[in-house]
Structure 1
């Protein structure tokens, strides 16, 4: 193939532009900058919260590590991987419209790289939800009704997540290249429908988890400071839930649109904030012990200096 023919192919966009819009491969509009900023800030805040949680539990508490801690660590690792891959993807056209991306640049490995972000999101969301439910089980294990709701939540979340994860993995392996055009699971409508169903389920499960203990807070016999800490946990959880609602609204608004890479990128900042806030939510209850001991240590240091 002559070089001029190859150059002409590189000028073909991955998708047709809307009427009146021209492809721009040089300096097109992109979501790269907000994606990087949101991921960097939310990741830093999450790491502070997770560090405080495990310092409080390891140094200032008699509690041993349990399954909620294990799932919290898995969620943290998943969230870090999600942010790292998302930020890296912005260097290879993630965040651009399809008509601003050269078709030849969408190699099989690159499309798999884009799709891997969704798989990490599914796994991380699962780890976060299970971690929070296990933590709630520790807090309210004496209340039989809540314990039952927590177990039901764990089972249902697992049942829903596993098949959706399997579908996403199949897409990564099969929905690449020309052959993907003839595979039903790879069609834009099927992808949009499954994303919509899981997005709706994600919102419902978030509020289910949030609603489990709320009715019990006022009646619980615990110090006011601890009650405030628990309420703060729920407030953080509510903000995380609002991010999942925003994601669902975007999925509905862009249903069956063929600008798939830009749509995925537009969801990315909300996914990042949702995950990080949910992890922070699982750590908030350990903050009082962390700050109390840090304050005590600071006072002791001041006293010894005299």
Structure 2
């Protein structure tokens, strides 16, 4: 029987061979993209935190806490993606040995499970912020549409 560490997950295209030692990857692009997608919301969250603690102290609302939670869970989500990328997910499938694919798929499943946490928190934060902007204490149609939406999800 063949050694699973020497068999690729899929057969390589015609004219190429699998490279398990030093495969071509997109790890640098993943690192740069991760830095950008973490830096942009970090600036926004830092600005929000500054305004809510220094400029207008004591004005935190539920949407603020949800946005902080969304950012924190997004950071952990990106960290798992970076871990997964370092494991070899940025390689071509024909450069990944069969012996590594079950561990990679395990972490892919974790990433898929984690995705909904920052997404739900960010969406709820926006929804609560819209409610606070467009409703002024009156329980009009806008208030009830926004307030009833999360219960339907």
So what's the TM-score if we normalise by structure 1?
A: 0.45
2:61 aligns with one of 66, 71, 82: 66
Structure 2 residue corresponding to 1:146, chosen from 126, 142, 146: 142
Q: Is the alpha carbon distance of 1:149 and 1:18 closer, same or farther for their aligned partners in structure 2, counting shifts above 3 Å?
A: farther
Deviations 1:247-267 (A, max 9, x none): xxxxxxxxxxxxxxxxxxxxx
Asked if residue 42 in structure 1 is aligned to residue 37 in structure 2, the reply is yes
Asked whether 1:120 is paired with 2:88, we answer no
- In structure 2, C-alpha distance between the alignment counterparts of 1:81 and 1:147, rounded to whole Å: 33
**1:97 deviation in Å?**
2.5
SS of corresponding position for 2:9: coil
Match of 2:22 among 14, 20, 27: 27
Give the C-alpha shift of residue 18 in structure 1.
Answer: 4.0
RMSD over aligned CA atoms reads 2.2
Write out per-residue CA displacement over residues 171-211 of structure 1, whole angstroms, 9 at most, x where no aligned residue. xxxxxxxxxxxxxxxxxxxxxxxxxxxxxxxxxxxxxxxxx
- Show structure 1 runs of 5+ residues with no match: 160-306
CA distance, structure 2, for counterparts of residue 140 and residue 49 of structure 1: 22
Kindly indicate which of the two structures has a greater share of residues assigned to helix.
1
Shift, 1:20, TM fit: 4.6
Counterpart check, 1:17 vs 2:12: yes
Quote how far apart the aligned CAs of 1:64 are. Answer: 2.8
1-side partners of 2:144 and 2:123: how far apart?
A: 16
Which runs of 5 or more residues in structure 2 are unaligned? none
Work out which structure has the larger RCO, using CA pairs closer than 8 Å and 6 or more positions apart in sequence.
2
Q: 1:148 Cα shift?
A: 2.6
What TM-score, normalized by structure 2, do the two folds share?
0.85
Match of 1:55 in 2: 50
Q: Distance between the aligned counterparts of 1:141 and 1:53, measured in 2?
A: 21
Q: How does 1:100-119 map to 2 (within 5 A)?
A: 100-108=95-103, 110-119=104-113
Q: Secondary structure at the match of 1:91?
A: helix
How much has 1:107 moved relative to structure 2? 3.9
Partner of 1:77 in structure 2?
72
